Amino acid sequence: MSDHAGRALAVAVAQFAPGADRAANLVEIERLAALAATRGARLVVFPEYSSYFTPEPGWDWQGAAEAIGGRFTEALGAIATRLDVHLVAGMIERLGGDERRVGNTVVAIAPHDGVVARYRKLHLYDAFGQRESEWVAPGDIAPPELFEAGGIRFGLQTCYDARFPEVTRRIVDAGADVVCMPAEWVRGPLKEAHWRVLTTARALENTMYVVAADHAPPVGAGNSMIVDPMGVEIATIGEATDVAVAWVSHERIDAVRRINPALALRRFDVTERISPRQR
């Protein structure tokens, strides 16, 4: 038995490039989850849009969308139960009442229990020449859903949300020790630097772990990583399709917060912004 047992939990980021073949995506998810499990991981985080992805969204996304509880999440549940690991992955969710737009949703799956938390992306990628909101509906602002594995509490957020510090701050305020952040971080000038800086900042300013899983190139920037509460990359994948494993622990969080009690010293809370259209 590892000397980490009872004190820390092994978590993994899994990096691959999902495509338009939903069955092939599930095969790759199962392969990478099994690889992570053999390396000791008890939780594996996969990218945004793991169920289905094309570089240009269109009506095919509606055809690929599924309800939570459908084929994709059922398959994830079977994988999680067989391997005895928690899985976190992004999917295209079918939304009732919207004939055009889908949900960009992250689900957390526990062995034997299925979906234990979900998150719909709050900030859509209407930037750098992209218009995600044409085909994707933003999630409603609601209390963060957390789940527990190995005594560690996990929260969920997605990709472009990393540019909005208040998203992660709400999650740590809800009690999370770790944020799982599936992403499809599109490559481009300076984008790789933005990914690394923003992911590190979200861990550092909240003195928590961030487990960030990106798409492998050529569309994604890669560089999936696990960052600790002091802003240290404790596991990183470059451009390859692979998994990387690191240990997360309350001891590390507590030690960092004794040195840097930023959460206790802050003087501001996060409140929802009301836009003119909501008044």
Of 64, 57, 51, 222, nearest in space to 131 by CA: 57
The set of catalytic residues is 48, 121, 159
CA distance 212 to 47: 8
* Phi and psi torsions of 197, nearest 5°: -65, -45
HSE (side-chain half, CA atoms, 13 Å) at 48? 30
Q: In whole angstroms, how large is the CA radius of gyration of the chain?
A: 18
Bridge partners, residue 88, by sequence: 45, 108
Helix, strand, coil percentages in the chain from 3-state DSSP, rounded to 5: 30, 25, 40
String of DSSP letters for 216-247: PTTTB----EEE-TTS-EEEE--SSSEEEEEE
